[in-house]
Amino acid sequence: MVSDNPKQAVDVAVLVSPGIGHTIPLFEFSKRLSVDHGLEVCFLVITTNEPSPAQDSLLRPEAGAVIPPNLHVVDLPPTDLSTIPEDTTLGDRISLLVKRSLESVRVVLLEPTSRPKALVIDIFCSEALEFGQELSIPVYTFFTTCAALLTFSLYLPTLDHEVEGEFTDMPGPIRVPGCRSYRPEDLLDPVKNRKIEEYRWILLHFSRLPRAAGILLNTWEDLEPVSLAALKENPFFLQIPAPPVYTIGPVIKQAEGSEMLTPSNAESLTWLDRRPPESVLFITFGSGGTLTIEQLTELGWGLELSQQRFVWVVRAPTDVSGSGTFFKAGSTKSGPEEYLPEGFLERTRGLGVVVQSWAPQMAILGHSSTGAFISHCGWNSTLESLSCGVPLIAWPLYAEQRMNAAMLAEDIGVAIRPVTMDQGTGLVGRDEVERVVRMVMEGEEGKALRRRARDLKDSAEKALSCGGTSWETLATVCREWKSKDIYAAPNNKCSCAAAGRT
């Protein structure tokens, strides 16, 4: 265990599935509960027998993590990853790891001092809804991605019942009631093949959503007004009925302090200090994203041809999976000179900086020299980019990232998507890389994207400030959790002063 079970009664327990992409927002959420709203929080971590350096830096005091005194991090007994076949899909693997840890969760929650007034889970922990009901603990789902995907998730059981065959064979776009339409090729990966186990897991998790006491959504009102309006007003969602939805975002990781930086990362930030405002392109594909060997080569050549300044986080390529480092985020192997185009580092010296495996993303996105972001469009990275007012070149790899990319480019207006050379492989050629990079960094379209991103940055700050929609929504939920009666009417006293916020 990272921390002993709390000695005083817990207000809220938080259970997160494996993978840094879910751990980050739920841990930041837990810190808000404890620091801003004074709740006693037990954060339950599903562990494996394999190291995760990125997760350690987030949760382990010995790795530099700062844990508030009323936030108690508890490791559940580890699961042996070697007992799960190597070819198991990502969604299957996560769901199996959670299932094998649930009895340990029950044991913790039955402890007298750990029995919470509410349990918050992520979507892969949906089976916890069963024993939440058994233990008379209301269970809330923290939905780690966007409102648009939440509407699709709630609609999927109906779609599954009404449509025969594969969704990808449907003749036209898939229309979610009251929301945008999705091209079949942009659907999240697990629903593209209804014959596989991963689809059955996702359908099961999504079908349990209406049973939650509430859904905490990592977005804010101004970012996704159409999807949020549909959840509140559309007859389809009213008849499910969908549980109450609480918009509390953006919940994002804070900028890394100087004490957390490696010498090479500190050097990257110093390099940025000497570059003109909004002149540098930041490239990284999240904690788990990996490119194929061919795609890494094309991206390298495209960057070089564009002659734009860049900071590129490079990790070893793999032709096996776009999520190749999902469970090993932060791990490093060979140096980038072994897999980048021959001579790339020499030819781009002074033009750009190559960082191996990991970089302080929030510090770089928030730097005045950063002008755009090539991103896989994971929701954490998306929110971090928009919170810093930085537009995106949308480069989705796996999971729901193609749905996010479509929304960012077509609805929100903060991204452009490169055109692929081959729909099957998704390969983006070097000429296309050069074109979109120049467009965003130099062109009028890039300036328009940047203006829109800045507007959303201001909107996000307003939502999180005292009196803002996200702040007040979470404050209301916290007051309910603090009360003896979980559904007691909240008082409206603002707690910003006590939390040291203005």
Active site residues: 22, 122
Place of tokens 């985020």: 329
Please state, in angstroms and rounded to a whole number, the distance separating the CA atoms of residues 426 and 407. Answer: 18
Residue 168 is encoded by which pair of tokens?
């990808």
β-strand partners of 411: none
Residue 208's contacts (CB-CB under 8 Å, 6 or more residues apart) are 126, 127, 129
CA 391 to chain centre: 17
What per-residue string of b and e applies to 365-397 under the rule 16 or more CB within 10 Å gives b? bbbebbbbbbbbbbbbbbbbbbbbbbbbbbbbb
Q: Is 324 exposed, middle or buried (0-12, 13-18, 19+ CB in 10 A)?
A: buried
Taking the CA atoms of residue 11, residue 15, residue 16 and residue 17 in that order, the dihedral angle to the nearest 10 degrees is 180
Q: Is 313 helix (H, G, I), strand (E, B) or coil?
A: strand
Element (H, E) at 140: strand 139-143
Please state, in angstroms and rounded to a whole number, the distance separating the CA atoms of residues 16 and 5. Answer: 17
Q: Is 333 helix (H, G, I), strand (E, B) or coil?
A: coil
Q: Is 54 exposed, middle or buried (0-12, 13-18, 19+ CB in 10 A)?
A: buried
User: Contact at 8 Å (CB) between 372 and 441?
Assistant: yes
Residue 402 is encoded by which pair of tokens?
């193609």
Please state, in angstroms and rounded to a whole number, the distance separating the CA atoms of residues 188 and 194. Answer: 12
Q: What phi and psi values does residue 279 have, to the nearest 5 degrees? A: -110, 0
